[in-house]
Structure 1
């Protein structure tokens, strides 16, 4: 936790915040091992960042005092990530990784090779998704939560949603066997589509390409989704 992310509920007065949830308290005590008087980086969810002084710490709460926060969080990546819904444990790690890297728009999509049971996972509960996003923000010292959208139908997404998303973005589909190699150092708004563990089926690739996306690959190695997404974002941006 490289940032204490404060929610509006944590602010009890101007320049004063109280943290009460067990996870953050445990991290302050057991990982940071802080004592009153320590200065830590804090940020207001959706807002600015800065330094705060820990003025009190107990088993029940931590109290911080700070001057007006004036530091801007790091810039977002210019990408909308369309990700075939991964296995639940992989989803948790992937959400944390892409949030730490600066992705702010995420669509989780059903495809043929996504197990239908994945959609019943507790990891898709709003509070669980929020938890993983917060962990990514705390890691990267960021305050801007991503928007996560669930799309259970591939065809409705491609026909009704994707054209609008591509109206002002370059569409890229990562898939083994594509002719084009992954581009580097993009600055333009981009949509990146990544398939499930077994990849997109041929029909899905055809539909994505017909909608205006470009197919590309990262070489002959077949990577796990969480590895592939991290590598793609690092190379693209």
Structure 2
């Protein structure tokens, strides 16, 4: 936890926050080994970052005097479309995209996505928020990504995709695409990544008909979580300044 992330509910006064939940209190006392008078990096959800000075520790709570002075890190210029992965992998991916500065993610149904995945408790709003918070704390960021669901492939592609992409460039990653993945793209763009086994050819064609460029990540077939990290790093000069593409990877 590189940043103690605060919510409005933590504040008892204008600049005074009291933390009572076990996770953050345990981390502050057990990992940071902080005491009264120590200063920690803090941030307010969807707001600024700064410092919090511990003014009291008692009754399993930590009180901080907070000064929020700086904007959060610059977000990635990538927006992501991702075929809904298996629930255990989804948890890790949510943390990853949050850490890397992705601020908009569409989880998409495709032919190779088991429909039972949509029933997982991991898609509960609170569960999603927990994973995103962990990613923000890692990166010292405060701005929560926006997650939306497209439970039917064709309606999303036919009715929503063009509006989602707008004037940005779109890429669809596919193991058998001829063009190699570009790198160091600074302009905003969209990346779509498929499920285990990749998008079907007809699904790739649907993206291509709407202006998406097919790209390959090379001869090796990657897991989805690996492909996400690889693409976000490759598309930008650094991992916080990326682009978005559509990909089907194993």
Measured against the shorter chain, the TM-score band is over 0.9
Residue 25 of structure 2 aligns to a residue whose secondary structure is helix
Which residue number in structure 2 is paired with residue 108 of structure 1?
107
- Matched residues in 2 for 1:127 and 1:159: separation? 30
TM-score computed with the length of structure 2 as normaliser: 0.92
CA shift, 1:180, in A, is 0.9
Structure 2 unaligned spans of 5+: 237-250
Q: Which residue of 1 aligns with 2:155?
A: 156
Q: How does 1:1-237 map to 2 (within 5 A)?
A: 1-58=1-58, 60-67=60-67, 69-237=68-236
- Contact 1:25 1:59 survives alignment (8 Å): no
Q: Secondary structure at the match of 2:166?
A: helix
Residue by residue, what CA displacement relative to the aligned partner does 1:121-141 show, whole Å, maximum 9, x if unpaired?
A: 010000000001100000000
Question: For the Cα contact (< 8 Å) 1:176–1:222, is it kept in 2?
Answer: yes
Aligned residues: 236
**Cα shift readout 1:77-101 (whole Å, capped 9, x = no counterpart):** 1111000001101000001011100
Q: How far off its partner does 1:104 sit?
A: 0.1
Unaligned runs of 5+ in 1: none
| Cα offset, 1:66, TM superposition | 2.3
Query: How far 1:201 sits from its partner (Å)?
Result: 0.7
Following superposition, the deviation at residue 112 of structure 1 comes to: 0.6
Structure 1 residue 57: Cα displacement: 2.4
Stretches (4+) displaced over 3 A: none
Shift of 1:159: 0.4
Helix, strand or coil at the partner of 1:99: helix
CA RMSD, aligned part only?
A: 1.0
- Structure 1's 31 and 180: CA in aligned 2 closer, same or farther, altered over 3 A? same
Q: Give the CA deviation at 1:60.
A: 2.5
Residues 111-156 of structure 1: CA distance to partner in whole angstroms, max 9, x if unpaired?
1111111100010000000001100000000011000001100001
Q: Distance in 2 between matches of 1:153 and 1:59?
A: 49
Secondary structure in structure 2 of the residue aligned to 1:13? coil
